[in-house]
Amino acid sequence: MILQALNDYYRRKCDDPDPAQHLPSFGLEQKEIPFLLEITAAGELVQLIDTRTPNGKKKIAQSFRVPQGVKRASNIAANLLWDTLEYVLGVDTKGKPERVVKQHTAFRQRIATLPPSAREDAGIQAVQRFFARMAADKGAMMATLERESAWGDALAINAILSFRLHGDVNLVCQRSAVVQAALNVPASADERIAMCLVTGEQAPVERLHAAIKGVWDKPGAMALKNIVSFNARAFESYGKTERQGENAPVSKAVAFAYTTALNHLLRKDSPQRIQIGDASTVFWADKATDLETAVPDIFGDRPTDDPDASAKAVQALLSAVHKEHGAATDEALADNRFHILGLAPNAARISIRFYYCLRLPELGKRIEQHFKDLEMVRSVHGHDPQYPSLKRLLQTVCLATSSQPFGDIERLPSNLGGAIVDAIFAGENVPYPALWLNTAVGRCRAEQAKKTQQGTQAQNVPYARAAVIKACLNRQIRRANLSAPEHLLEKEFLPMLDRTNINPGYLLGRLFAVLERIQETAAGGGGKLNSTIRDKYYGAMASSPGIVFPTLDKLKIAHLKKLPWGQKEWFDKLVCEILSDLPDVPRQLSLPDQGRFALGYYHQRQDFFSKKPDDSTKTEGASA
């Protein structure tokens, strides 16, 4: 079904009304060509054109639609009218002169094998005359090239070159006669005809599928691997052992279509992909819609001049979903299917991490549930986003470094991000990865302790981390409640303080926040404190409250003595209210209960600084 959906997307993009969005026709591909040899009709070299443009610290080459490249490893095989500098000019760049001679010969022979109608084209004749001039006096030709300012860069990287006829806009390999010749290559004598598994039509079977180029093998490095491939006898079956492609017969046209479509979705700066960990996730729809690019904006953290781009994307999607359920139903949009494909590198080929095909109402429901699970009361003094990106949520559970002050995602297991995206689209009853919760809870403890050792003031459990803990716990609770008896059903956590929640971990978190606030108030709002009980006891109280609580209770009594009567009575009443639902302080808390502790602490802290209806319970002091 994945190949079928990609094939349909390719057909749609071939008919796209925007010429810039057209995908190459069968037999062609989009290729970045950094340098062009501009020649006259007589074969004289006019100039070496550098098509690269600055992009930050790098230069990006212009992309051209050219004849499909050949698949080669260590063998010698030339592309048609475009290739590396060694193939095109026969110039040795790696100290292998004998091999370069064979490469250049193969390049010229590829042109010579074109049908007569193509060889009569003015562009092809100009290229042939160029090679004739170079063969007659290669020294003079090389001297002319060396005077070009771009020659040094081209030689250093064995750059890809192609030809352009002086006065033309298109390349020689883009001329109609050449394109037709490239597309009308006769089938080989041993080519097998079989039923294509994607279309059901009888067609020539593709033996080796084109490589998928945009899946990250490691950060910043692209893997060149296949989705469909058979490179050993052990992977073949049913007697399909003579030709690799026959084991999973896909026609040449479909193989080109799905690989071209997937490479287009995975291209650099694609608005339809996100990269989270090792999972390269792409999005597309059966019918053209702006939501194709809005969905990645919801989860990604793409550079943009608009800081509210993610929030606008979420609101656009939810608005479309709510409109579909309302009176102004857009039937075309409601019937439009959205495809979500997660890919990850493997030893020999690309693995499918997950794949979902959802109609808009169901897609919107699952994304909306994701943000409902994350919904959390925000600090009145902060700038916390309403819809945090997945990158922000992963950073909040990472250790911050000097180069990554918000958290270094590369320190996390590479498969965590993909597992989270998988859980989002799998539905509301599928838990998030347990590792996400474990890491967030562990970071709450470790970060406090580390900051105390450095002598700096520790921060509260941050908003994004609290949102992660709440989302993970609510999904675990929802899953457990499906099979639990009625008297054991657990209530899900609210975005704000829930005074009816009597879970021991949650109550202890609330209690710890109250004890800390008592200390801050006793010190005049916290401004005179070098550290609070949070800096010294958060980790111990979250994991072993029964051991630490007696010490904190003594400190509470000492701090209450410093408060005026009204504040003392209010805090004392609040402590008693919490303890009334906590008859016994457990000696230890499990890791999920440590997450509940963090939520109770965060909720109670935010409640202290939130506006009340009559503002009668607000206490003055340091911000949360």
What pLDDT does residue 240 have? 61
DSSP-assigned letters across all residues of 52-77: -EEETTEEEPPEEEEEPPPP-SSS--
Q: Which residues contact 156 (CB under 8 A, 6 or more apart)?
A: none
Enclosing H/E stretch for 440: helix 434-453
pLDDT of residue 448: 57
**Which helix (DSSP H) or strand (DSSP E) does residue 260 occupy?**
helix 252-265
- Cα separations (Å) of 371 from 259, 299, 325, 467, 568? 33, 11, 19, 9, 39
Q: Return the pLDDT at 527.
A: 54
- At 186, list the tokens: 């006769």
Residues of the chain predicted below pLDDT 70 = 183-191, 218-223, 231-245, 300-309, 321-333, 381-382, 400-406, 448-460, 525-528, 611-624
Q: How far apart are CA 567 and CA 63, in angstroms?
A: 70
pLDDT, residue 624, reads: 38
| Rounded-to-integer distance, Cα 531 and Cα 457, Å | 6
How far apart CA 596 and CA 509 sit, in angstroms, is 7
Give the pLDDT score at 161: 95
Helix (H, G, I), strand (E, B) or coil at 351: strand
C-alpha–C-alpha distance, residues 33 and 19, integer Å: 20
CA angle 367, 271, 298 (to 5 degrees): 25
User: Which pLDDT score is estimated for 612?
Assistant: 59
Which residues have a Cβ under 8 Å from the Cβ of 259 and sit 6 or more positions away? 209, 210, 211, 212
Instruction: State the CB neighbour count (10 A cutoff) for residue 38.
Output: 16
The residue with tokens 């998928």 is 212
DSSP annotation string for 192-247: PEEE-TTT--EEEBPSSPPPEEEEEEETTEEEEE-SS---SGGG--TT--SSGGGG
**Is 502 within 8 Å of 581 (Cβ atoms)?**
yes
Whether the pTM exceeds 0.85: the reply is: no
Of 95, 224, 93, nearest to 161 by C-alpha is 93
pLDDT of res. 619: 45
